[in-house]
Amino acid sequence: MDIWQIVGLALIVTVIGVVLRQFRPEIALQLTILAGVTIFLLILGKIKIIIELLQNLADQASISSYYLLIVLKIVGIAYVSEFGAQICRDAGEGALASKVEIAAKVTVLILAIPIITAILESLIRLLG
Amino acid sequence: METLQNLVRNLAVVLLLAGFLEMLLPNSSMRGFVKLVMGLFVISAVLGPVTDFLRAPLAMGVPAWNMTASQDLPVMANGQEVKAGQNAVQEQFRRIIVNQVQALVVTVKGVSDAQVEVEFEEGAKGLTEQPRIAWIRVKLDGVRPIEPVKIGEASPELSARAGEVRRQVALFMGLPEDKVIVDE
Amino acid sequence: MSFNIVLTVAGIGILVGILVMLLNESGRKEMAQAVTILGVVVALYIVVQSISDLFSLVKSVFQLY
């Protein structure tokens, strides 16, 4: 079980971080980022299993994987931007964090635009 | 009857997928986007059989189901049949992308119609894996607007609308601009 | 295992902190500054490498190209 490793790592890094923050806050921040990356790497293996399951399911139901891929990309962008934004917010850069979130939302919307135009197109052809 | 059965089964799977994917999200601020895309998916799924029933010939730009499902294919024992399934899936992706690019290009000012070709890179393995786009070639129809002739320019430059088309296609399909070729 | 990297950075932090304290006590302020910056750069090098690993893994899992 990875959960013990993750919680243990987080607790140890928290203790070291509290000590380090008193005299070297810049290196304490880097320590936090690194711990976050490590935990993320541990989780990603499991996320990959879930996604493979979903893709198998979609494949068996003969669902066009186009939609699934778009939604997967949205989830991926959400994860990465959340990661960056929370680190920025932790270091006291709240403004930067919300900019990262805005950028993620715009990117996701741009991913969805091709589908919206194509479906609108076929709807208009159907009705017109 | 069979279409109805298929429709219900596939809709159930889609809703299940939507639920899973929403649970997978790290924060709830992206929930709306996932719901939007899944809603479009359901619209496309319902529209397909309805238009079949009405016998209205409608080329759906983004079909919800694969035309050749993997379970309809013969048992994939040898490489040739896997390749056949892959080719069918690739063909469908090609059609989807061509339709999307056409819909995008027509919105650019001064473009009335366009022919689109898409070429994929080799190396997509599974049936569900989306092949990567090698290049997109867009051939614009309609009259090319007359531009002031500049003396001393050696290479023929792209006209303003071709540049615009190239920029938009590259932006929306997530490609670098040099993979989009625009002819006039 | 990637836990080692985390502990390395923690070690760098503590080492740099002690060195800077010693240098400040002995009156060499500019050297203390240099040690601080060096420590930050070394830690940043490690952090950037692991972030690039993370991003390539995320790209492959979510098929983001």
Q: What is the DSSP letter of B72?
A: T
pLDDT of residue B86: 67
What is the Cα–Cα distance from B85 to B57, expressed in whole angstroms?
25
| pLDDT higher than threshold 50 for residue A128 | yes
Give tens-digit pLDDT for B138-147: 877 765 555 5
Nearest-angstrom CA–CA distance, A33 and B146: 56
pLDDT for residue B104: 75
What pLDDT does residue B132 have?
72
Q: Give the CATH H-level superfamily of domain B70-184.
A: ANL, C-terminal domain (3.30.300.30)
Average pLDDT over residues B113-120: 79
* Of C6, C50, C63, Cβ closest to residue A73: C63
Angle among Cα B49, B54, B57 to the nearest 5 degrees reads 85
Mean model confidence pLDDT for chain B: 71
Chains touching chain C through at least 3 C-beta pairs below 8 angstroms are A, B
**Whole-number pLDDT of residue B116:** 81
Instruction: Among A75, A115, A121, select the one facing B21 at the smallest CB separation.
Output: A75
With 80 as the cut, is the pLDDT of residue C27 above it? yes
* pLDDT beyond 60 at B32: yes
The distance of C26 to chain A (nearest Cα, Å) reads 18
C-alpha B153 chain-centroid distance: 37
pLDDT of residue B74: 46
| pLDDT band at residue C37 under the 50/70/90 scheme | very high
More confident residue, A48 or B136: A48
CATH 3.30.300.30 in chain B, residues? 70-184
Task: Test B100 with A65 for CB contact under 8 angstroms.
Answer: no
Q: How confident is the model at residue B75 (pLDDT cuts 50, 70, 90)?
A: very low
Q: pLDDT: is A4 or B164 the higher one?
A: A4
Map residue B26 onto helix, strand or coil.
coil
Q: What are phi and psi of B149, to 5 degrees?
A: -80, 125
Q: Supply the angle between the helices A65-90 and B79-106 in degrees, to the nearest 10.
A: 70
Asked if C63 lies within 8 A of B130 by C-beta distance, the reply is: yes
* Mean per-residue pLDDT over chain C, rounded: 89
Q: Would you list the domain boundaries of chain C? A: 3-62
Which pLDDT value is given to residue B36?
84
If one counts every other C-beta atom within 10 angstroms of the C-beta of residue A21, the result is 16
User: CB C55 to CB A9 under 8 A?
Assistant: no
Q: Does A40 touch chain B (CB under 8 A)?
A: no
Phi, psi of B55 (to 5 degrees): 55, 30
Chain A CA closest to residue B89: A64
